[in-house]
Amino acid sequence: MAFFGRAPQDEGGKPGVFARLTERLANTRQALGQNLGQLLRLRRPVDAALLEDIETTLIGADLGVDTVQSVMDEVGRRISRREIGDSRAVYAALRGILLDILKPCAKPWPHGTPPQVVLMVGINGAGKTTTIGKMILYFREQGLKVMVAAGDTFRAAAIEQLATWAERAGASLISQPRGADAAAVAHDALQAAQARGIDVLLIDTAGRLHTQSGLMDELGKIRRVLARLDPTAPHEVILVLDGGIGQNALAQLEHFHKAIGITGLCITKLDGTAKGGVLFAIAKKTGLPIYFLGVGEGEEDLRPFDPANFIDAILPPGNDT
């Protein structure tokens, strides 16, 4: 059971890792798995009315119109090829079709030549700083030396929040007082990381500037400053998206991707939202790697993305029986 990097028995009496994921994704499971299970449990004929009900459920679960269309097209093809006989077979088919949408986005974290420089971006409140905190722990557990840079210099509280995580999870911290130039912080951090043999440098950034173009300009400046010290840096630009905002995540993604080029994603706050279906829309639209899911505020609540586990958690096998 290596899927979350830690075996369930390491949890010291707490529910296993997969059980916890399942528990945290309860709202999305309700919107998707439970509703589909109810629709498909009875051996209803696979007719236009049933297909319409399925389509409505998928849209309600925030998969997005385009994704739902392509899923329904595939279901239709399988029906006409007589691969689907009754409503229960539809459930099994949907599990497979939805899994196939996510699979291209499952990539292991791309470890690079140290120091690997990771720029964390996203709008205010998306979960950047919290995700960095959790990633510190994740990398530390692999025996890596981690440094974080407090590039959100707008609020003193943001710097403190990162400092707290760094201390708790065991990373060194590079920061400057509030109001400092974020690019200067990034520059100092990379220089220190190079000098101190750091494996992974995680750079926090601000999510809100006076204008959107100000935010993108600042991120561009950070990029240029880093590249002066290491032409290959930043090695990863990770967009942190709040999964609870549903389809709005797509617009955000497009915006950030166009402006600075995103290499991978973390989707946060999948606990407590029924909009987890947005992952399918993101996967279908971008195919970008989804490295981590955030399923809570604690340091343990980061999950390397595993499509099969995600599907099992929101569309449990046998839910149609």
Ligand X SMILES: Nc1nc2c(ncn2[C@@H]2O[C@H](COP(=O)(O)OP(=O)(O)O)[C@@H](O)[C@H]2O)c(=O)[nH]1
SS (H, E, C) 223-272: HHHHHHHCCCCCCEEEEEEEHHHCCHHHHHHHHHHHHHCCCEEEEECCCC
Residue nearest to Mg ion (CB): 129
* Contact indicator for 106, 83 with CB cutoff of 8 Å: no
**Least distance in angstroms from the C-beta of 137 to Mg ion:** 17
* Contact indicator for 68, 94 with CB cutoff of 8 Å: no
Of 35, 175, 268, 286, which lies in the binding site for ligand X, with binding defined by CB under 6 A?
268
CA-closest candidate to residue 24, choices 268, 247, 320: 268
Binding piece for Mg ion, criterion CB under 5 A, among 132-140, 150-158, 217-225, 301-309: 150-158
Site string for ligand X, 200-229 (x = CB under 6 A): -------x----------------------
Binding residues for Mg ion, rule CB under 5 A, total 4
| Tokens of residue 44, six digits | 């209803």
Half-sphere exposure of 321 (CA within 13 A, CB side): 4
Residue 306 binding: pick among ligand X, Mg ion, none (C-beta 5-8 Å cut-off by kind): none
Residue 236 as a binder of ligand X (CB under 6 A): the answer is no
Chain-centroid distance, C-alpha 185: 26
Which residues 126-165 are close enough to bind ligand X by CB under 6 A?
126-130
Site string for Mg ion, 126-145 (x = CB under 5 A): --xx----------------
CA-closest candidate to residue 72, choices 89, 97, 35: 97
Site string for Mg ion, 151-190 (x = CB under 5 A): -x-----x--------------------------------
Locus of tokens 């990029």: 223
> Rounded to whole angstroms, what are the CA distances from 183 to 62, 104, 135, 175?
37, 33, 22, 11
Q: Which residues pair with 268 in a beta bridge?
A: 242
Nearest residue (CB) to ligand X, 126 versus 288: 126
Binding piece for ligand X, criterion CB under 6 A, among 43-51, 171-179, 217-225, 292-300: 292-300
* Contact indicator for 95, 256 with CB cutoff of 8 Å: no
Residues 6+ apart with CB under 8 A from 231: none
Residue 294 binding: pick among Mg ion, ligand X, none (C-beta 5-8 Å cut-off by kind): ligand X
3-state secondary structure (DSSP) of residue 120: strand
**Least distance in angstroms from the C-beta of 240 to Mg ion:** 9
Of 37, 122, 234, 276, which lies in the binding site for ligand X, with binding defined by CB under 6 A?
122
Chain residues that interact with ligand X, rule: CB under 6 A: 122, 124-130, 207, 240, 268-269, 271-272, 294-297, 301
